[in-house]
Amino acid sequence: MRIKVLSGKKELSIESHQNQNLLAMLQENNINVSNNCHGNGTCGKCKIKVVEGYLPVTEADKRSLTENEVKQGIRLACKAKIDKKSEEREELWIEIVGALEEDIVVEAMSKKKLRKDFQDTNYFIAIDIGTTTIAMALISEETGEIVDVYTSVNHQRKYGADVISRIVAANDGKAEELKKLIEEDLWKGIKSLLPEGIRSECSKENDVVTKVITNECDTKKRKTNLNRIIISGNTTMIHLLMGYSCESLGKYPFISEHLEKIECKWNNTPVTILPGISAFVGGDIVAGILACPKFETEELSLLIDLGTNGEMVLGNGDRLLTASAAAGPAFEGGNIICGTAAVPGSICQVKIQNQRAVVRTIKNEMPPIGICGSGLISIMAQLKANRLIKLDGELMIPYNEKGFPLWIFENGEKIALYQKDIREFQMAKAAVRAGIDILMEEYGCTPEEIENVYVAGGFGKAIDIEDMMTIGMLPEEFEDKISIVGNSALQGAVCFGKDRETRKQIENICRRAENITLSEKTEFQKKYLKYMKL
């Protein structure tokens, strides 16, 4: 039977297939639906609404949706299938409720924008490919100035929010599509960083990036001088970009097919992809070390990158110890019912007054669109400070069933933190905190001996150190040593492009880095259970 699909202002028609769920049908027809759990029916993000016709209620619907949502015809696309009763109605109309966020371009790190004399200056582009977001910076070769920055969502998210979901999808035959998705995101970002004058000289939209990169598109016969591209990314993202097999990444002992630095060309432009350390400590962490110069001194430093995994590095100029805690995507808004990436409009800070929430969003855009990682940490700290949550993570009555509301819209819909979200947070926090303890034990140091603590991630400057300490996310001895460094992976890629001496450090970093597997440490599980408490 034919299914009519309403997605925003678009109306499409797709053909149903026997025994195939609706999410797979939508993906086959390039209709993007939020899908953090790779179709396992646990994240509750892939919501569709039956406008006309019939779809049966599944067990996953009962677990993840409210009773009111089910009555309204909301279903999870990943578990929804056409049955005989659906076919009897002959026609099925559905509306996409859980759509992916659109690309979002954020303000430049520098207020200085591209000048008309772009062609008279040499530039390079630094890129961080994150599991959730992609960040790019355009840098002047002459001055080292960051001229403009572009950030967008990573559209591979249609196959899950975390690296494991992407690995599973790649190994299930989606590798080529995943490669295509990231390539399209990169081209779109590069094009966005180019000045309007050059774009208008290129008649074919699809040729814009190609012409600029090959220096064929010019204004007044002057070259664009985009000299090179530097890319950092976690090991899985680089494998998907380069088309490497992910088979060994998805099973123990988790071996990477390629960790070395990659030198290649895209359309005649030299590209450097930074090397990684292990299957789950990639070039983004190597770049993060570059961005934190204290790692080259005798002082002990700790870098904690809160992304879809909790990667961490402990050490100095003599020795580095790395690890990856399977924290899940909660710190990037993944698997959170009202979660979103750290984009304009996402809730980044919360204050609770008389059991009512007052929220602040990134760029102060209202109404809010969801909860990002820094917002999640802020909410948890406020719930604890206001005694609205027990030490085991259970919300007080009546919020334990209905969720704690952060924003209520005029139609009665709300952005809230639910009990399921708190469990996701607890698991992420416990994994990171236990990982820090194990790392210190393996290195043979105490919290007092660590002099610099860098917290990185897509939070920008929105994360609050006091909130992190309130919920026990970090040892109390760290409180006066913490620096919030934002996207250290992008900063490191910029450093690599700007400074020849920094480029030489890459090999030294990889040579002195030793990776430990937390799951192999018997004490990790004990500490993990201990830190589940708030």
The model's confidence at residue 20, banded by pLDDT at 50, 70 and 90, is confident
The position carrying tokens 């582009």 is 125
Residue with more model confidence, 88 or 220: 88
Task: Report the C-alpha dihedral over residues 350, 418, 101, 16, rounded to 10 degrees.
Answer: -170
Angstrom CA distances, 81 to 72, 84, 155, 401, stand at 18, 10, 25, 29
The model's confidence at residue 459, banded by pLDDT at 50, 70 and 90, is low
Pick the CATH number of 116-273 from 3.30.360.10, 2.40.160.60, 3.30.420.480, 1.10.3720.10: 3.30.420.480
- Separation CA 402–CA 75 (nearest Å): 19
Q: Which residues touch 85 (CB under 8 Å, ≥6 apart)?
A: 54, 56
Domain ranges for the chain, please list them.
2-96, 116-273, 293-534
What are the tens digits of pLDDT across the range 317-338?
A: 999 999 999 887 888 887 888 9
Identify the CA nearest to 153 among candidates 133, 124, 170.
Answer: 133
Residue with more model confidence, 173 or 90: 173
User: Per-residue pLDDT for 290 more than 90?
Assistant: yes
Residue 361 is predicted with a pLDDT of 93
Residue 124 tokens read as: 């390079």
User: Per-residue pLDDT for 205 more than 60?
Assistant: no
* Position 300, amino acid: L
**H helices within 282-372, ranges in order?**
283-291
The model's confidence at residue 113, banded by pLDDT at 50, 70 and 90, is very low
Contact at 8 Å (CB) between 321 and 313? yes
Residue with more model confidence, 479 or 89: 479
2-96 CATH:
3.10.20.30
**For the residues 15-34, what does the mean pLDDT come to?**
82
Residue 202 is predicted with a pLDDT of 38
Helix, strand, coil percentages (3-state) for the chain, rounded to 5, are 40, 25, 35
Q: Which residues touch 403 (CB under 8 Å, ≥6 apart)?
A: 337, 395, 414, 416, 417, 418, 419
Residue 250 is predicted with a pLDDT of 85
The model's confidence at residue 119, banded by pLDDT at 50, 70 and 90, is low
Percent of the chain surpassing pLDDT 70: 89
Residue 529 is predicted with a pLDDT of 95
Residue-by-residue DSSP string for 87-114: HHT--EEEEE-SBPPPP-PPPPSSSPPP
- Mean residue pLDDT across the chain: 85
Residue 126 is predicted with a pLDDT of 96
**For the residues 233-249, what does the mean pLDDT come to?**
95
